[in-house]
Structure 1
Amino acid sequence: MTATTSDGAPVVADGIVVVDKPAGLTSHTVVARIRRLAGTRKVGHAGTLDPMATGVLVVGLNRATRLLGHLQLADKSYDATVLLGAATTTDDAEGEILTTAPVDGVTAEAIEAAVSRFRGEISQVPSKVSAIKVDGRRAYERVRAGEEVALKARSVTVSRYDVLDVRPGPSGLAVDISVDCSSGTYIRALARDLGAELGVGGHLTALRRTRVGSFDLSVAHTLESLAQSFAWLPIAEVAAGTFPRYDADAEQAAAIRTGRPLSGVKLPAGQTAMFDPTGTFLALYEAHGPVAKPTAVFVG
């Protein structure tokens, strides 16, 4: 959706912007730019991307910032390039090289066999330069301050891990991969662990997020295009496309607006988007036995 005032400034209500983040910018910087473009301070994002990474960053505007926490954004997809033959301090190309090894004996068959060990539910130690907090401070802050950081392994799910291409790199063997995974999976750690499994070391040289939940690159906009014409998905459209829909009558809508429980309303399992007779998105409700109760109200 795109709308402007008479002087050309965007008129932005509650909604979602899917940004195709460029390399070199932090997610925080992207949010700051969206604030200026949208003319609102109430902007937040879901799923941080590192500065070197590009691709899908889901940004909420105004009341839709509260909707972000209810959207199914746990499953993500990435395209990436791993360079085998060198391990780095950050598990990516921005770090210092720790070790190098010849890759002459590494075959495509060996790479595929190693990759297969990282499919499904796996135990993964996050990268030391992740945003995980250690005693109140981000791990990457401690690493950059010269501290040694030890992070605990966590269970993540890699539902797809495909090898797309294997080719000679500038100083090793470049492996293009495509991954579907659960939230909390670190692609840098997959690169590191693939190199370790093959005994030659490895690190990430390129990363592009192609999907977050139901939002993919087909609905993403560059910052340049948003500066020319600010486009967003209205909150009602996002809610209707994400959750089961219930169209309330006028009496029910009045109760929903104030977050009151509804009796005698049958809702499916999970959250349901509640709309008033005019099509305005009001709230998310959940069934609790014979009573429907609110999980979040977005009006009033």
Structure 2
Amino acid sequence: MNSGILLVDKPQGITSHDVVARTRRLAGTRKVGHAGTLDPMATGLLVLGVNHATRLLHHLVGLDKEYLATIRLGWATTTDDAEGEPLAAASADRLDAATDEAVEAGMRLLTGVIEQVPSAVSAVKVAGKRAYQRVRDGEQVELAARTVTVAAFELLALRHGDGFVDVDVRVACSSGTYVRALARDLGAGLGTGGHLTALRRTRVGAFGVDEAAPLEGLDVAAALLSPADAASRALPVVRLTAQHAVDLGHGKRVEASAAPDTAAGEPIAAIGPDGRLVAIVERRGDTLKVVTGFPAEEDGA
């Protein structure tokens, strides 16, 4: 099995680790990883790396994301989603006041660069232990706010039900943003409480869910994107001469005149004349230094 990046459309009701485990069996290798999990209730795009391409995942984790979601106004829950215990219900007057205009005004307050407190039931580590595990162990968890960017928080539809209002939204955001926390905070701002009932990840960087293969009947070899293809869609690219490809392959620095003008420390995909991803590099003065090397594929690798 060659190395590559795999785009999978995760079904509802299983964990991201379940997808990784199934892909390991299908690919016949233990070397499968992911560039960011989805909750079991969520569906949509998972970006996986197979074999040497797992080294690329570190450079894909920070890509921006896009989601389609449904937020239910009417009550909050202990987990900020439908799997948690319900908290106090909102009054009918509060729900009647949740008009399109009021909801959009609340969403505008949660758009742009904001300070967001992650959901207590999240994968954020607190003193070396996942927050969700601390909650399951009966601990009270208070997480610090973090700066995130919500580039778009768009109202798609609003439906009034019996004791609730369902709000369909599109969210485009920086990595590390919790859509569950947006649901919680929108409901808190409107005085209705709120939680997430559906979530689908539609995009990670330049990778769209419309390109993703369903997990059922997955043909890993046929679905693999080459490391060079994946890296060139996520990062700036420098095209190497044959000699520079050899030198970088040996860990040497090469001169940077052909590289795009990037900030120091920004990763660049270095692609050889044969179209292979040789390394992820970064500028160091007038040279390029290897950050992550990618060995040439061997038969059966």
TM-score normalised over the length of structure 1? 0.91
Q: Secondary structure at the match of 1:226?
A: coil
**Partner in structure 1 of residue 43 of structure 2:** 54
Specify every segment of 5 or more residues in structure 2 that has no aligned partner in the other structure, as ranges. Answer: 297-301
The Cα shift of 1:170 comes to: 5.4
Q: Determine if contact 1:265/1:292 at 8 Å carries over to the other structure.
A: no
Does residue 210 of structure 2 align to residue 215 of structure 1? no
Does residue 72 of structure 2 align to residue 83 of structure 1? yes
Does residue 239 of structure 2 align to residue 252 of structure 1? no
The Cα shift of 1:73 comes to: 4.0
Identity value in percent: 54
Q: Determine if contact 2:4/2:53 at 8 Å carries over to the other structure.
A: yes
**Partner in structure 2 of residue 96 of structure 1:** 85
Distance 1:104 1:250, change over 3 A: closer
Q: In the TM superposition, what are the counterparts of 1:35-50 in structure 2 within 5 Å?
A: 35-50=24-39
Deviation per CA, 1:133-183: give whole Å up to 9, x if none: 112211111111221111111111111000111102354110111110111
Q: Secondary structure at the match of 2:282?
A: strand
Does residue 283 of structure 2 align to residue 283 of structure 1? no
Q: In the TM superposition, what are the counterparts of 1:110-129 in structure 2 within 5 Å?
A: 110-129=102-121
Q: Secondary structure at the match of 1:233?
A: coil
**Partner in structure 1 of residue 150 of structure 2:** 158
**Partner in structure 2 of residue 8 of structure 1:** none
Q: In the TM superposition, what are the counterparts of 1:1-300 in structure 2 within 5 Å?
A: 12-71=1-60, 73-102=62-91, 103-169=95-161, 171-227=163-219, 230-263=222-255, 265-268=257-260, 269=262, 270-299=266-295
Q: Determine if contact 1:14/1:235 at 8 Å carries over to the other structure.
A: yes
- The residue type paired with residue 266 of structure 1 is A
* Runs of 4+ that moved beyond 6 A: none
Please tell me the root mean square deviation across aligned C-alpha atoms, in Å.
Answer: 1.8
The Cα shift of 1:244 comes to: 3.9
How many pairs are equivalent? 289
Q: Determine if contact 2:64/2:204 at 8 Å carries over to the other structure.
A: yes
Segment of structure 1 superposing worse, 226-235 or 179-188: 226-235
The separation in 1 between residues aligned to 2:256 and 2:32, in whole angstroms, is 37
TM-score normalised over the length of structure 2? 0.90
- The residue type paired with residue 270 of structure 2 is M
- The residue type paired with residue 80 of structure 2 is D
The Cα shift of 1:210 comes to: 0.6
